Chains A and B, each alone.
Chain A
């Protein structure tokens, strides 16, 4: 079998005596629709931070298409195609929506450090950013400042920024968190419409969303993988039901 898109081997991280990731062997296949679930404090966001390089592991390695990227800083991993969204929006709040996405696109195209040409003359960057906003149905809000947008619309900007990085691996940290339930379908539609070539790992608490989206589920408990498999298997897994799903398993 060919190398997985993203793989971790014995990945571990502790803060002093507190172990937040222990010996995680994880594989994300090309084109995956993979969900990572687990109770609060299971170490899900820590795991994402280890994958992106925001956090260095205490032991183990991260491989992208078979290449060890454990020592690479965050920026270099982004260049190789690992993009993420944040659990809590991390946007340029004082800037217009279009500018938010244009900054990401400019970095991907490698022109983010150019000093001698006005950013406004980079039509390629601006047009691509606008195209992404159209895909997210945000075109009409392109000129508004982020802080003027409702939270649910801001979540879509998060997604547009991540897509602007041209990811091969997309890590979505609770994309529907804080979004009113009447609006979650917009996020879901956007995720459904992602290119099948992108391997997507989604961290989510909303079980409806997880079971609708994921072809494969990994359950993380206390920093370690408790179970892994297709949704129906996870839903029926007795330990998972006991630890995490509780009565919600009925939704599966």
Chain B
């Protein structure tokens, strides 16, 4: 088959070959994050929490946005990572940050692997409920096992070694925490980006788009789903580990429905299945929460609710999708 395709065919081939290439705007969010470091030195604690949530949302995007696995229990892995780091530091004196994150990833990833092997036999509402149940189990475990986890109060006042033995966390100014989290986030982002543009990532999209067809082209569907789920769980575990390290505490807020629903809202708000939706969603969600909670301490959730309804009604593909629409409209006007 060496026939020369027409112009339209050649364009299609060129498009599919160029999908993974870096686009001009892709460095912008990272440059913005560095700019924030210099321009808002007093807001870096907030900025660090924002970056942690971006990482968490990114991990969810891999399963929800790309593989189409609907889960309401992703905080199970965030919490598993957070508690792993916390318990190692409190009970085993293991408080070197980077190896702590590795431990968080391994523990959360293993939980993801084992629960995925069981849960991913189901789908739809059943899967949704089972992910919720798994998270509730882990949450209750953290609540009950107070000798290890600190129970309801969690574990406050943890201390961690300096990153590379040089950059010490400062509890007042989050400069080191911020840059450390940003660096980890960038590493994870590059990894996830590689995954979603690989053949594996394409097959996840295939599973999301049509399960029946994916079975019929001979893909090991369940294995792919479980692998994606375990990887995503490990990444969520890293996010949780960062939470504990940068805050120097861990408590039940890292587990539970509030956090699981929050990350889901972030992804829907930003746009799922497109990497940058996690960034846009987390920035908008946390900024809204931050400013609304200050302006209307009693009714701030109303503002969030209205925003979410507007997105659900008018921007099905999230804010990134809205941006796409706008870009297309501009291009049409120019043409």
Which A residues lie at the B interface, using CB under 8 A? 52, 54, 74-79, 83-84, 86, 90-99, 102-104, 106-108, 111-123, 125-128, 130-135, 139-144, 161, 164-165
Contacts and interface: CB of A to CB of B under 8 A. Distances in A.
Contacts of B13: 98, 126, 130, 142
Contacts of B3: 131, 134
17 contacts: A74-B218, A79-B218, A84-B216, A90-B210, A95-B205, A104-B217, A112-B203, A117-B199, A119-B198, A119-B199, A121-B20, A126-B16, A126-B17, A128-B1, A134-B3, A142-B8, A143-B8
Interface of B: 1, 3, 5-6, 8-9, 11-13, 15-21, 194-195, 197-203, 205-206, 209-210, 212-221, 223-224, 227
A98 B205 CA distance: 14
B219 A107 contact: yes
A15 B64 CA distance: 34
A103 B21 CA distance: 19
A139 B4 CA distance: 10
Given A74-B215, A75-B218, A92-B213, 7 more contacts: A54-B216, A78-B216, A86-B216, A103-B202, A112-B202, A114-B199, A118-B20
A115 B12 contact: no
Name the prevailing secondary structure of the B interface residues: helix
B273 to A, nearest CB: 9
B222 to A, nearest CB: 9
A98 B200 contact: no
A135 B11 CA distance: 18
Contacts of B201: 115, 119
Most A CB within 10 A of own CB, among B202, B203, B223: B202
B215 A107 contact: no
Contacts, number: 160
A182 B13 CA distance: 30
Most A CB within 10 A of own CB, among B20, B194, B206, B217: B217
Contacts of A119: 16, 19-20, 197-199, 201-202
Contacts of A99: 16, 202
Given A112-B203, A113-B200, A118-B197, A102 B6 contact: no
B33 to A, nearest CB: 25
B18 A120 contact: yes
A123 to B, nearest CB: 8
Nearest to A109: B199
8 closest cross-chain pairs (CB), A and B: A131-B1, A78-B218, A143-B12, A142-B12, A118-B20, A139-B9, A92-B209, A90-B213
A82 B280 CA distance: 45
A189 to B, nearest CB: 17
A1 B15 CA distance: 51
B223 to A, nearest CB: 8
Most A CB within 10 A of own CB, among B197, B215, B218, B221: B218
A77 B13 CA distance: 30
A192 B327 CA distance: 45
Contact of A94 (B16, B203, B209, B227): B209
A54 B8 contact: no
Contacts of B218: 74-79, 107-108, 165
Contacts of A134: 1, 3, 5, 9
Contacts of A98: 12-13, 16
B143 to A, nearest CB: 37
A117 B214 CA distance: 21
B16 A102 contact: yes
A120 B8 contact: no
A120 B197 contact: yes
Contacts of A107: 203, 217-219
Contacts of A133: 9
A121 B194 CA distance: 12
A133 to B, nearest CB: 7
